Copies of this chain bind each other. A is one copy, B any other.
């Protein structure tokens, strides 16, 4: 019904001066563009960003339940199901019932999954560089630090 911030529509003309430097607006537009770049890049490896998130988390924590993986990645429990399905189809993870607690599934990265993660990692790093292309190295770190602090603040205030 309603909606529609566009990139195409803004190619020609300058947007309003006051609008152009609104933080919330810039964040939305940059996030959209970053998402586009990441999705397009990962699509060429038949992957999605949640594949990457799940594999990274699994690789760091070792085998965990889906609920635990959900907490670590930020992917909803309900949506995690199909993410794990896709990763299992491709042979990157294995889903097995937990003998100690039969409500749970234990998700384990396979050797193939680890190899895939390594390649994804390189690609993701390149894509981050594309996103931050106009900034120098120290500026990128500055931006990353500032974003991390903003993010942590909002995470905390939400965890009440």
A residues at B contact (CB < 8 Å): 1-35, 37-38, 48-50, 53, 56-57, 60-61, 68, 70-80, 82-83, 86, 124, 127-128, 131-135, 139-140, 142-144, 146-155, 158-159
Contact = CB atoms under 8 A, between A and B. Distances in A.
A134 B25 CA distance: 18
Copies of this protein in the complex? 2
A17 to B, nearest CB: 7
Q: SS class of chain A's interface: helix, strand, loop or mixed?
A: helix
A137 B28 CA distance: 21
Contact of A143 (B28, B132, B143, B154): B143
A14 to B, nearest CB: 7
B147 A134 contact: no
The interface centre, meaning the residue of A5, A21, A22, A134 with most chain B CB atoms within 10 A of its CB, is A22
B154 A15 contact: no
B28 A31 contact: yes
A149 B132 CA distance: 9
A1 B85 CA distance: 11
A8 B160 CA distance: 11
23 contacts: A2-B79, A3-B50, A6-B74, A6-B75, A7-B155, A9-B77, A14-B72, A15-B57, A15-B71, A15-B73, A18-B60, A19-B72, A20-B148, A24-B35, A24-B127, A27-B131, A28-B31, A29-B74, A30-B147, A30-B150, A133-B153, A142-B146, A143-B147
